[in-house]
Amino acid sequence: MEGRRWSLWLLLILAGIVALALVGQRITSIDEVDGSSRLLYLVLLLSAVGGGVLYRFKAETRTALAQLGIWIALLAGLTLAYSFKDDVKALGQRFTRQLDARSGTISGDHAVSFSRAESGHFEVTAALDGVPTTFYVDTGATAIVLTPQAAERLGYDVNALTYDILSETANGLGRSAAIRINELVMGPIVMHDVAAHVNQSQMSRSLLGMQFVSQLRSMHIDGDTLTFAQ
């Protein structure tokens, strides 16, 4: 009976190692020497620990099998996590690039440049009275137009505003309320006492219109790069 148990445990260990080897094939960068060594080390280490668990619980078949299953699952999880490391890294780099693109890059004396976003728009971030706010640059818009949510983050009660400014929008006639922004900061560009509108209806993003552009020294678009200079 004891011999049959050890035979079963040996088969389970071999099956676990084979399963882990198959999982390891998902690793795209495993052909590197250091990656192969790391995987082999994990397999040997976890197999040794699993064997120790089997020896300790050899009198309790169910407990031993459960412990072995836990170690195999742990090693499989570590292997899968390692195999997706490049995907996670790429996702993090993509997110960082998007944040950097919105924040802009200082490109000269009182000048800041932005890259076109994947949406096809130029998305920029400016601090309005210290509150970061993301805009679409829209030269077809006359004013700086904030979404209701952006206005609330600035401390405005959007229900108490007077929406007496009429304007044409893609959805027809729209209403907005006038407000003043004490300070607008975009990289090296700083403006004070800036007029803006709060849109009454919901918008996907606040708009940075010609009212902002007209106060700059220049605005230049070169391919997928937009540069503001004050």
| Nearest in space to 65 (alpha carbons), one of 17, 3, 13 | 13
- Residues spanned by the domain of 79: 2-83
Q: What is the pLDDT of residue 98?
A: 45
Domain ends where: 60, 83, 106?
Answer: 83
**Tokens at residue 190, please?**
């700083």
Q: What is the pLDDT of residue 99?
A: 42
Instruction: Report residue 144 CA to chain centroid gap.
Output: 27
> Over the stretch 62-120, which tens digit does the pLDDT of each residue have?
666 666 677 777 767 776 666 665 555 544 444 444 444 557 888 778 899 999 988 88
Cα–Cα distance between 180 and 19 in angstroms, integer?
A: 65
Q: Is residue 190 a part of any domain in this protein?
A: yes
167 and 224 part of one domain: yes
**Tokens at residue 139, please?**
């030269």
Q: Is residue 90 a part of any domain in this protein?
A: no
Domain ends where: 83, 106, 121?
Answer: 83
109 and 21 part of one domain: no
User: What average pLDDT does range 176-190 have in this prediction?
Assistant: 95
- Parallel, antiparallel, or unpaired: how do β-strands 189-199 and 172-186 relate? antiparallel
Burial 190-226 (b: 16+ CB within 10 A, else e): ebeebebbbbeeebebbbbbebbbeebeeeeeeeeeb
78 and 129 part of one domain: no
Cα–Cα distance between 155 and 151 in angstroms, integer?
A: 7
State the pTM of this model: 0.55
What whole-number percentage of the chain has pLDDT above 90? 44
Q: Is residue 88 a part of any domain in this protein?
A: no
**Packing angle of the helix pair 33-56, 61-83 (nearest 10 deg):** 170
144 and 180 part of one domain: yes
More confident residue, 180 or 55: 180
> Over the stretch 130-151, which tens digit does the pLDDT of each residue have?
999 999 999 888 999 999 999 9
- Number of domains making up the chain: 2
74 and 112 part of one domain: no
**Mean model confidence pLDDT for the chain:** 76
Q: Is residue 132 a part of any domain in this protein?
A: yes
Give the model's confidence band at 161: pLDDT under 50 very low, under 70 low, under 90 confident, else very high.
very high
Domain ends where: 38, 54, 83?
Answer: 83
